[in-house]
Structure formats: structure tokens, C-alpha cells
Structure 1
Amino acid sequence: MNGLANYRLDQDGSGNTLLTLSGPYLVSTIGAIDAELRALEGPIARIELSDVSEIDTVGAWIAGNLASQHQAEISGATPRAERLLKALEGMSGEERMVPEMLPVWERVPLAMGEKVFAARDGIMGVLSFLGAIISATAHLARHPRRFRILALVHQLELVGVTALPIIGLMSFLIGIVIAQQGAVQLAQFGAETLTVNLVGRITLRELGVLMTAIMVAGRSGSAFAAQIGTMKLTEEVDAMRTIGISPVEALVIPRILAAVIMMPLLGFYSAGMGIIGGAVIGDLMLNIPFWTFLVRIHDVVPLHDLWVGLLKAPVFGLIVALAGCYHGMQVKGNSEQVGLRTTMAVVSAIFAVIVLDAIFAVFFTEIGWG
């Protein structure tokens, strides 16, 4: 059969079976006889390749597999065929589809050890990143003209101004929920008027800044990680280093400053919208006039509750920006890493913010601001 792979079985002078392969043994031509070759019954003493006009890796693998299956020797191979056969020597098509699983008493310690080493590497990476930020900040302090004020203004707009609608709506609705649910519970004790205290204190002290930090983490923290991560993949960060621009100065510090500056403002705005939402419910459900509700907020909420929220806000902003920028700078390899690191940035930022909020709650209670 001209142009297709072929074979024939002969007997040599000693009565041994000889398998002669002929024609092009290529991936495009061998399919017609592959099943027949696999079904050949032995014993076959020798496989002759002198009539093979062309051969590729698939053809060499078929010949080598036949030789291994029938314990036959190969003769008449061209130099190219010999190279391919040598490269494929010892390979088998019968590989395990599922890797061998270690017993549970080995898997668990192994997994724990991997987690410990990963945590160690993560801590070292964060410390190294913090060192780079401190070094870059000191360098900017010595050379203030290098600071990119336009980049800071742009990030202030992205982190703060464009976040006002969603944060305002979220806080307004949360204020409505707190007031409505609180009024329902307090009505059992005839203390509906204390809804003002509940809404005022919980929004100014806790939920205003906490929900804002979570929203900024999901909105701006993820954007920081995705933007910087994409720049890492496209080698823009390496190009900046090549032309003498510090990526930390140009990309990281403006984003951190923007988050630290805008978080107190956004937290105060969020608390205000939450109080307005509570006042709306007070006017509609509790017969507390809207303006009376706002005036009562001033009377029943201590001033230190406002300061507690404002003091926590820049710390939360710092954590969110650090998480986003750090994970963005860790992207490498492929585009899948961008999504993975963006998710890690949001999760780690929200986790750190909630842990810090609990620490702050205990601390401010201990100093008498409870």
C-alpha cells in the first residue's frame, strides 16, 4: 500500500518469525494498522526497519513497544530511527492514571509540614515587602521631588470618590436594618427610644468603619492586586526597574497613602449614612421625628465613640492596601496567578481587619472607652 505504513511476517532460515515494517511510520499514516500491530501474536524474533521510508516519535514508539512486547531485536534502523528509539527506551504506555496515595498517618504530617513552611515563606515575604516600603518611604523623604503626586490624586479618586455611592447605599441599608431589628427587640421591654443609642453607637464605633474596610478590601484591595499582578505578568514592573524607576515608589506607596487617607473619611461618611438610615426608620416606625433622631444622636453617643472609629480607620486602610499590593507583587507564572492572588488579597485583608477590630475592641474597653 503506497504512501501508508505496512508490515509483513516472514520466516528466516532458522525458522524464526521476522516482522518487516515498511512505508512511512508517521502519526498521520500509522493509524490504519495500529490495531493489527497490537494484535500480532508471537513469538517474533526480529523487527526489520530497513524498508521504513520515514519515521517519527509515534512510529518509533510503536516499533519499540512491539520489540519490548515480543522480546525481539530491532535491525535495519536508520540513524534517525536509532536516536528516537534510544530516547523512548524504557517508556511504557501503561502508566498509573491515579497517583499512589500515602497512608493517612503520613499524609497529615506531610500536609501540616507544607503549611508550616508555606507560612514561614509568607511571613518572610511580608517582612521583606514591609522593608522595601520603609526603605522607599525613607528615600522619598530625602528626595520629595520623586514623589508622584498625580498618582496619589488618581488613587484618592479611585479609592474614595468613586466608592461613595456603593458605600453610602450599603451603610444606609445597614442603618435601616439595625434600627428596624433593634426596635423590634427593644419593644419587648418598652424601650423603643433606645434605638437611637443602638444605631448611633454601633455605626460610629464599629459597623461604619468595619463595613467600609470590608467594602474597600473587596473593591480597591482586589483592584490593587489585579493591577499590579497584571503589570508583573506583562513585565512592566521589570521594565520600570530597568529604566531606574522603583516599583514600590511608583505603584505601592501612592496606593497605600490613598487608602490610609481615605479610610477615615469613608468611615465617617458610612457612619453618617447609617445614622440617616436609622433616622428614616425612626420616623416611619417609631414615631421619632427625623431631626429629633439626629439631635438625640448628639446627646446619647459619647464623643470617644467617634474617635474610636476614626482611629481604627487608617489602620484598616493600611492593612487593606498592604494586602492588595503585596499579593499583586507576588504574581508570577501565568494569568491564573492573578485571579488566585486577587482572591488571597481580599480574604487576607478581611480576615486581618476583623481580627484587628476585635483587638481594638478589647484595647479601648481596657482604657475606659468601652
Structure 2
Amino acid sequence: MREWADFTTDAKEGGASTIALTGALTVSCIGPLDRRLRALDQPIDKIDLSGVSAIDTVGAWTAWRTARDHDAEIVGASDQAERLIAAIKDSNSTADIAPPRAEIIERVPAAVGDLVIGWGEGTVGVVGFLGALMVSAGHTIKKPSKLRVKALIRQIELVGVSALGIIGLMCFLVGIVIAQQGAVQLQQFGAEFYTINLTGRLAMRELGVLMTAIMVAGRSGSAFAAQLGTMKLTEEVDAMRTIGVSPVEALIIPRVLAAVLMMPLLGFYAAVMAIIGGAFLANFALDIPFFTFLSRIQEVVPMHDVWVGMIKAPFFGLIIALAGCYQGMQVKANAEEVGIRTTMAVVQAIFMVIVLDAFFAIFFTKVGWG
């Protein structure tokens, strides 16, 4: 049980008093006592440490500082307390507890400069990470036996198979929303039958793969960052290097390959579930039979729309895996940084996926697949 530090006051006739400190004067127990001692405004003659059961540097500093501020004498100190007090006397400083804050005209340029430097260092780090990944990928291509098949299968299960339920449900509901909102607008023109065209093309071309990428980024990208960050924190990655195992080959390549391979399949699956959701709504709200909706999809959705989604998917998977693995490998300091890097991985992955999707939209329009 924690023995909190405390004090009692023995007042004398002359106005000065003796303070008797009791309990453990340690960093974990001294917080409330420190605040009360700082608030004392009465004269103090002596500080009695005979009732102190344990003391560390923080406790010794608190007792000595109180004696210094009130010009009091320390009595009843144990040998350990005397040694600690003698050691910290020379550490006295007149500096403020918190440094003065600079003016805004200085803070803003300094913050912008730190941000630019951070971007530069981040760019160099990403380039170095990509270089290491490409070198390891080259070695794996030359010697396929280096590929850790069991690790790859495990990551395929985590990235793909385990995500089928949540991605299917999400896209089914998104398909319902697209069909419902599209039908409301098209009914104004008596063209609600074209809800099939809207749902099919939008699901196959854009929303299926995009919603899948966002879900995989939040689910698998964050997991990559958290797993690798924890391994960095516990020095497992350093241990792998020590025994001659490449962390890139053992940890990163299976994750990147799993994301690249599974994204096209998940994207197509998501698009199909969105179309089924649209057909489900159309069956009840638009009086379009379920199987009529599905058969019409084959006629109104051009094949190049399917290819657009399938071409984008591997690139999205690559970006998600790279963001998660890179941020995970940057963890250095403490457990808090694991959470920070995991958040950064998800945000960066989703942002880059949307930017790349906009690029692909322009590109496919230019090549006639718009």
C-alpha cells in the first residue's frame, strides 16, 4: 500500500515553528505534500526528517527547497537523506519552471520551418524505405525460396478473408443508399429504371474499390503500423537483424504482397455486394424484380468499368501497406508513439488513396474509359 508523505506543525512562542515530515518522500508519494509546502506562508525554524520512512532525490530536493525558502534547519535526517541533500544542493537553479513563450512573430516562422524540415526528413525516409523494399523484392524474385509463404498466407487471411464480413455488409448498405438516393432523383424525370445503370457503374468503377480501400486502410493498415511499431518498441526488429534475418523480407514483403493481391478481389466482391444491395432495394421500392436488376447490370455496365476498378485496386493496396509498414518502422521512443504512428498511417493511406483515385479518374477519362 502506498505510504503518502505528510507533515505536522509544532508552533513555538516566538512565532516560528517546526515541521515534522512523515511517510515516504518519494516521487510517487510526494505530490500532495509538495503543493501544501509551497503554499506555506508561516515562519519555519526547523524541518524534522526523523519520521521519514523512505526518501529519494525528489524528496530530498523538496525538503531542502522548503528549508532554503524559509531559512530553516534540517534535523533528524538519516544518512541516506543527508547524502541526497548534499548532492542536490549544487543543483540549485533560478530558471523559470516553464520557459517564456516567444512572440507570435517568432513562433509562426519557427513552426513553419519545423514543418518543412519534417516534410523533408519524411520524404528522405520514405525514399529510403522504398529503396530497401525494392532491394528485398529483387532478392526475393531472384531466390523465390526466400519468400515466407506461411507469413504471406497468414496476412492474406487477415487482410482478405477476415474482412469479407464487414466489407460485404458495408457495401451492401452503401448499394442500398445509392439506389435509394438515385431513384429519388431519377423519379422526377420518370427515369427510375436507370437506377440500375447508376448503381452498377458507380459500384464497379468507383465506390466498390474506394470503400474497400478505406476499410482496409482503417483495418489492416492500422494493424500493420501497430504490429511493427510494437515489435520495434520491444526490440524484436533489432533482434532479427542481429541473427541475420532481414525485417523487410520477413515482415514487410508478406504484408505488402497480401494487400496488393487481396485488394482486387475485395474490390470486386465489394462492388458485387453493392449491386446486390441496390437490387434488394429496387425489388421493394421500385418494383424492379431482383433478378431482372442483376441481369440488366450485365447489359448496362461496360466491361472497361470492371477493368478500371481492378486496375486501381492493386495500387490502392500497395499504398495502404506501404503507409502502414513505413509508419510502424518509424516507432522509436515509447508506447504513445505507437498510437501516433498508427493514426498517421491510416490518415496518410486514406489521403493518398483519394489523391490516386482522382488521378486515375482523369487518366481513364483521357484514354476514353470515362
* TM tier, smaller: 0.7 to 0.9
- The count of corresponding residues between Structure 1 and Structure 2 is 350
Pairs within 5 Å for 1:236-251: 236-251=236-251
Aligned residue number for residue 252 of structure 1:
252
1:178 equivalent to 2:181? Answer no
Contact 1:27 1:59 in 2 (8 A): no
Aligned residue number for residue 198 of structure 1:
198
CA distance in 2, matches of 1:207, 1:79: 70
Greater shift, 282-291 or 265-274, is seen at 282-291
Instruction: Provide, for residues 206-253 of structure 1, a one-character-per-residue CA deviation record: whole Å limited to 9, x for no partner.
Output: 000000000111111111111111111222111111111111001100
Instruction: Provide, for residues 296-342 of structure 1, a one-character-per-residue CA deviation record: whole Å limited to 9, x for no partner.
Output: 11111111111110000000000011111111111122211221111
Q: 1:62 to 1:352 in 2, by over 3 A?
A: same
Instruction: Provide, for residues 149-195 of structure 1, a one-character-per-residue CA deviation record: whole Å limited to 9, x for no partner.
Output: 11111111111111111111111111111001100010011110110
Contact 2:60 2:84 in 1 (8 A): no
Residue 94 of structure 1, CA deviation: 8.8
Aligned residue number for residue 368 of structure 1:
368
Pairs within 5 Å for 1:74-223: 81=82, 84-85=85-86, 87-89=88-90, 91=92, 95-96=96-97, 99-223=99-223
Q: 1:113 to 1:283 in 2, by over 3 A?
A: same
Residue 81 of structure 1, CA deviation: 4.7
Q: 1:170 to 1:85 in 2, by over 3 A?
A: same
Pairs within 5 Å for 1:3-82: 39-40=42-43, 58=59, 62=63, 66=67, 81=82
Residue 142 of structure 1, CA deviation: 2.1
- Specify the code of the residue in structure 2 equivalent to 1:361: A
CA distance in 2, matches of 1:7, 1:90: 30
Contact 1:175 1:273 in 2 (8 A): yes
Residue 39 of structure 1, CA deviation: 3.5
Contact 2:60 2:81 in 1 (8 A): no
Greater shift, 274-283 or 197-206, is seen at 274-283
CA distance in 1, matches of 2:167, 2:191: 30
SS of residue paired to 2:90: coil
Aligned residue number for residue 265 of structure 2:
265
Q: 1:272 to 1:87 in 2, by over 3 A?
A: same
CA distance in 1, matches of 2:325, 2:308: 27
- Specify the code of the residue in structure 2 equivalent to 1:40: P
- Specify the code of the residue in structure 2 equivalent to 1:248: V
Aligned residue number for residue 325 of structure 1:
325
1:274 equivalent to 2:274? Answer yes
CA distance in 1, matches of 2:243, 2:158: 27
State the percentage of identical aligned residues. Answer: 57
- Specify the code of the residue in structure 2 equivalent to 1:346: V
CA distance in 2, matches of 1:126, 1:280: 45
Aligned residue number for residue 354 of structure 2:
354
Gaps of 5+ in 2: 1-6, 26-32
Residue 8 of structure 1, CA deviation: 12
Residue 256 of structure 1, CA deviation: 0.5
Residue 40 of structure 1, CA deviation: 3.3
When Rg is computed on C-alpha atoms for both structures, the one with the higher figure is 1
SS of residue paired to 1:288: coil
Q: 1:362 to 1:91 in 2, by over 3 A?
A: same
Residue 99 of structure 1, CA deviation: 4.3
CA distance in 1, matches of 2:62, 2:173: 68
Contact 1:175 1:274 in 2 (8 A): yes
SS of residue paired to 1:101: coil
Q: 1:185 to 1:25 in 2, by over 3 A?
A: closer
**TM-score normalised to the size of structure 1?**
0.82
**TM-score normalised to the size of structure 2?**
0.82
Greater shift, 223-232 or 244-253, is seen at 223-232
Contact 2:60 2:85 in 1 (8 A): no
SS of residue paired to 1:223: helix
Aligned residue number for residue 291 of structure 1:
291
Residue 91 of structure 1, CA deviation: 2.3
Q: 1:296 to 1:81 in 2, by over 3 A?
A: same
Q: 1:6 to 1:215 in 2, by over 3 A?
A: closer
Contact 2:159 2:216 in 1 (8 A): yes
- Specify the code of the residue in structure 2 equivalent to 1:170: M
Contact 2:213 2:263 in 1 (8 A): yes
- Specify the code of the residue in structure 2 equivalent to 1:318: L
Q: 1:284 to 1:250 in 2, by over 3 A?
A: same
CA distance in 2, matches of 1:335, 1:157: 27
Contact 1:60 1:85 in 2 (8 A): no
Contact 1:60 1:81 in 2 (8 A): no
Greater shift, 307-316 or 106-115, is seen at 106-115
Q: 1:191 to 1:136 in 2, by over 3 A?
A: same
Residue 86 of structure 1, CA deviation: 5.8
Aligned residue number for residue 12 of structure 1:
none
Contact 1:61 1:88 in 2 (8 A): no
Provide the aligned C-alpha RMSD in A: 3.8
- Specify the code of the residue in structure 1 equivalent to 2:43: L
